Structure 1
Amino acid sequence: MPAIQTSLLEIVFLDEGPREGPVIFLLHGWPDDIRAWSKLTPLLNAAGFRTVIPYLRGFGLTRFLARETVRDGRGVALAQDVIDLADALHIPHFFVAGHDWGARAAYLLAALFPSRVGRIAAMALAFQPRGEFPIPTFPQARLFWYQWFMCTDGGAAAIKRDPVGFSRIQWDTWSPAGWYEEEEFLKTAGSFGNPDWASITLNGYRSRFMPETVDHRYDELQRRMSGIAVLKTPTLVINGGSDTCDPPSSFEEMDHSFTGGCELLTLEGIGHFPPREAPGTVAAALIRHFTS
């Protein structure tokens, strides 16, 4: 697989489809990896799109170059990684489709780099104006148990000991039973063996609610995001009607956050992993959105 070096990372990625076609960056979620897009990319490539699919920092084959670099898992860091990869590939303008953590990066790319991003599609995650993480309602807080678990020292230690076991719980409980094959989970779980997976995971979640060490090179992006409450980029949001992590209620009253238009597509009977659970439907929606 190809790889490029930024100032911080060696990013490993897939680059498929027609070289001269419009580019879609496909950004996977947590806990997942680039395999999430394997059934979509042939459809997108056949429709004329070039797809670039990186392992996010802390996942799979992507590696930090220096031991001393802070393992910052915030969305602004993920967004900057995409810009760095696009620059290295000489791609000035592109589309973004992201799932879960990748969806957050998609929103942030649209907010912080609007001249680079033509349209975005976000799956299984609602937009957070100003990049804020308010304490959710009691019902949603119950669904977010894993985030509070990470905020305890004992929970963090348990995740470091068994990242695959922790990830399996999310796969087992966020979508209807029987949605995945054991072999597919195990192949994907290889990405959770990245030496920085636990550190990036813990930093990404703990920094939302607790004082955490972060990489100050992203302070300016975070400051800019704190002043952005609406997106001007045309947006498609796809959610699962049976998602038990981010249920349909999470996506209510989003229209006021999008001045460039936002289409909400709810897939009944689908859980938290739409690219895997309904690849044909998702691919068709992306093709329609990115050719509009």
Structure 2
Amino acid sequence: MAAFDIEDISIQYEDINPAGGEVAVLLHGWPDDASTWEEVIDALAGTGRRLIVPTLRGFGSSRFRNSQAPRTGNSAILAMDVIALLDGLGIARFAVAGHDWGSNIAEALAVGWPDRLERMAMLATPPRLGGMPTPPFEQAQRYWYHWFMATERGAEAVRADPHGFAHIHWINWAPDGWFEEATFRRVAKSFDNPDWVEITLHSYRARWDNAAPDPRSVWLEDAIKATKTLSLPTLSIKGDADGVTTRESFEKIPEKFDGPFEMVGLPGVGHFPQRENPSAVAALLMEFLDSSLVAG
């Protein structure tokens, strides 16, 4: 692992095959950490690609260097962190695969830096292009934790037991028995970051206008809301047993893409496909990254 200092933060990241060819960036989600890609990395590393795997602000060993910096976690500011890291590493062009939060960071990168992003894979999470309308009641029910965190009592409960809050989502979002408790405990150490709770609260509050986005990122948040569709080659991977996103929400994803696009559902898989079925995800990503996907 290495660390790179951007404006207010020291970002922890892995640089795998630094002398490799084309670059792929792997972005983790919530509540998770960069280890979510471990088994996928093992497969992708053999393709000769250079892999950049950041740990997002507020997670693991990525730390704020400025005690006065706002603890913000909206997708656009997270995308700006990624660009700052890639700029520092001298990387101009890249592909990206993102899970959960990472998916929405990926689309923010596609909106903000379309000349740099070659293609993207989005795992388990629909895009937010065009803004986020109030969801139908079934999806709103699955988003209970969003509304919970919007209240002061909910926020205090998360501050009091961040591991317990994360754990209930691992249980609810995928089929019974999909993970070992030892794995969760290892990952949950990343949630001991002193800013994890505040980054989490801000991320979910900001998406429903209960908090303002980081001021530096307003231009990008506005651009995401103004963008109705994307045309870059895109792969969407979903678990058919995802416990947080309804089938209807997934069915609407293709409407957001007017270029080369493919959606793949994985039977018996929940919200963590790269953890639940890493061999299938690795195979899909290798094929996608090596393909010349064209509109059909």
Q: TM-score range by the shorter chain?
A: over 0.9
3-state SS of 2:245 partner: coil
Where does 1:9-88 land on structure 2 (aligned, <5 Å)?
A: 9-17=9-17, 19-88=19-88
Superposed counterparts of 1:83-102, under 5 Å: 83-102=83-102
Contact 1:86–1:92 under 8 Å retained in 2? yes
- Residue 155 of structure 1 corresponds to 154
User: Which portions of structure 1, spanning 4 or more consecutive aligned residues, are displaced by more than 3 angstroms?
Assistant: none
CA distance in 2 between counterparts of 1:226 and 1:32 reads: 26
Gap runs ≥5 in structure 1: none
Residue 210 of structure 2 aligns with which residue?
Answer: 211
SS of the counterpart of 1:121? strand
Q: CA deviation at 1:283?
A: 0.5
> Any residues of structure 2 matched to 1:204-283 within 5 Å, and which?
204-283=203-282
Per the alignment, residue 294 of structure 2 pairs with none
Aligned length: 291
Q: 2: distance between equivalents of 1:97 and 1:5?
A: 23
Over residues 193-226 of structure 1, what are the superposed CA-to-partner deviations in whole Å (9 max), with x where a residue is unaligned? 0010000000000112243254211122122222
Which runs of 5 or more structure 2 residues have no equivalent in the other structure? 292-296
CA distance in 1, matches of 2:224, 2:267: 33
Query: Which one-letter code corresponds to 1:27 in the other structure?
Result: L
Show the 5 A alignment for 1:71-150. Answer: 71-130=71-130, 132-150=131-149
SS at match of 2:39: coil
TM normalised by structure 1 equals 0.97
Quote the Cα distance in structure 1 between the aligned partners of 2:89 and 2:73: 23
Asked if the contact 2:77/2:216 (under 8 Å) is kept, the reply is no
Distance 2:69 2:18 in 1: 36
SS at match of 1:40: helix
Q: Percent identity?
A: 43
Indicate the RMSD between aligned Cα atoms, in angstroms: 1.1
3-state SS of paired residue (1:129): coil
Matched to 1:86, the amino acid is L
What is the match of residue 193 of structure 1?
Answer: 192
- Partner Cα distance (2:254, 2:167) in 1: 34
